[in-house]
């Protein structure tokens, strides 16, 4: 079996789709194939025009072969009540972006279903279920993996992917958002290393804030992945 890698563009939303869609097309040309786009489905407070444009862009991406996956609900934690201590630490480390960190079983399920409902509103009720669920910043709670699997989606954490059927892939991730400048070089080196290793299913996780500052290095990293014989794959193919 050929060695594979995932290219995952995080945080695609109603607030950034106009700016990000051209970046996705450019990356697709470079990678030679469409890849996975992680969608924040909530559109609260956006204008009807913006929501309409977002829906059309999502349909266009699908038509172009991109894989759309579910990335939380709002991507921002709503409140701190009912979170475990570890969850509160997760929230503080990520400026409140760790939406699912340390939630109770009930709250975790509520937010997951709010995310799925928002997904259906965006993509239409006949839309297929997203192939994968990726909690914002990968902070989680102990109930979320089984809740995601019960909805027949792949669950991703920082170190591994587990399909709905329970197949587990060891999956180190190279990610650059929120990494201090003096550590960037190390982060890219780490990315090269995990791509060149003969094992695992490495991920390159990109964020809107990576562009344009880190564009050239990211392009180089994708070339490394392709040149070392890895094939781009998608969550739905696992």
> Rule CB under 5 A: which residues touch Zn ion?
10-11, 136
CB of 112 to Zn ion, least distance (A): 15
Find the shortest distance in angstroms from Cβ 10 to Zn ion: 4
Report in angstroms the alpha-carbon separations of 81 from 84, 101, 107, 139, 145: 9, 11, 10, 16, 21
| Residue 153 or 224 having the CB closest to Zn ion | 153
The two tokens of residue 216 are 């050239």
| Complex with Zn ion: residue 10 or 214, whichever CB lies closer | 10
Q: How far is the CB of 134 from Zn ion (least distance, A)?
A: 8
Q: Which long-range contacts (CB under 8 A, 24 or more apart) does 52-60 make?
A: 53/17, 53/18, 54/13, 54/14, 54/17, 54/122, 55/122, 55/123, 57/17, 57/18, 57/21, 58/17, 58/122, 58/123, 59/123, 60/21
Considering the complex, what minimum distance in angstroms separates the CB of residue 227 from Zn ion? Answer: 28
Judge contact between 45 and 82, C-beta under 8 A: no
The least CB distance from residue 75 to Zn ion, in Å, is 6
Closest to Zn ion by CB, 206 vs 224, is: 206
Say if CB 74 and CB 110 are below 8 A apart: no
Q: How far is the CB of 228 from Zn ion (least distance, A)?
A: 27
88 vs 82: CA distance, rounded Å:
9
Nearer to Zn ion by Cβ, of 95 and 231: the residue is 95
C-beta closer to Zn ion: residue 98 or 224: 98
Q: How far is the CB of 231 from Zn ion (least distance, A)?
A: 25
* Closest CB to Zn ion among residues 23, 224: 23
Q: Which is nearer to Zn ion, 3 or 10 (CB)?
A: 10
User: Contacts for 125-133 with beta carbons within 8 Å, 24 or more apart?
Assistant: 129/153, 130/39, 130/68, 130/69, 130/70, 131/67, 131/69, 131/234, 131/235, 131/236, 132/36, 132/69, 132/70, 132/156, 132/161, 132/235, 132/236, 133/69, 133/70, 133/71
């Amino acid at each position: 079996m050929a060695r594979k890698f995932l290219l995952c563009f995080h945080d695609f939303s109603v607030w950034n789709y106009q700016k990000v869609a051209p970046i996705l097309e450019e990356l697709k040309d470079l990678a030679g194939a469409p890849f996975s786009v992680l969608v924040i489905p909530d559109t609260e407070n956006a204008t009807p025009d913006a929501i309409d444009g977002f829906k059309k862009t999502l349909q266009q991406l699908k038509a172009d072969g991109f894989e759309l996956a579910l990335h939380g609900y709002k991507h921002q934690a709503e409140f701190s009540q009912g979170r475990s201590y570890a969850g509160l630490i997760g929230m503080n480390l990520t400026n409140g972006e760790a939406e699912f960190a340390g939630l109770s079983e009930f709250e975790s399920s509520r937010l997951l279903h709010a995310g799925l409902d928002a997904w259906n509103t965006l993509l239409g009720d006949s839309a297929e279920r997203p192939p994968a669920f990726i909690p914002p910043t990968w902070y989680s709670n102990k109930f979320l993996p089984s809740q995601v699997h019960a909805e027949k989606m792949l669950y991703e954490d920082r170190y591994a992917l587990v399909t709905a059927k329970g197949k587990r892939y060891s999956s180190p991730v190279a990610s650059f958002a929120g990494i201090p400048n003096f550590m960037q070089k190390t982060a890219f080196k780490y990315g090269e290393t995990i791509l060149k290793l003969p094992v695992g299913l490495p991920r390159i996780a990109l964020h809107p804030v990576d562009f344009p500052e880190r564009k050239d290095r990211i392009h180089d990293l994708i070339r490394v992945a392709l040149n070392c014989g890895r094939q781009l794959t998608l969550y739905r193919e696992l």
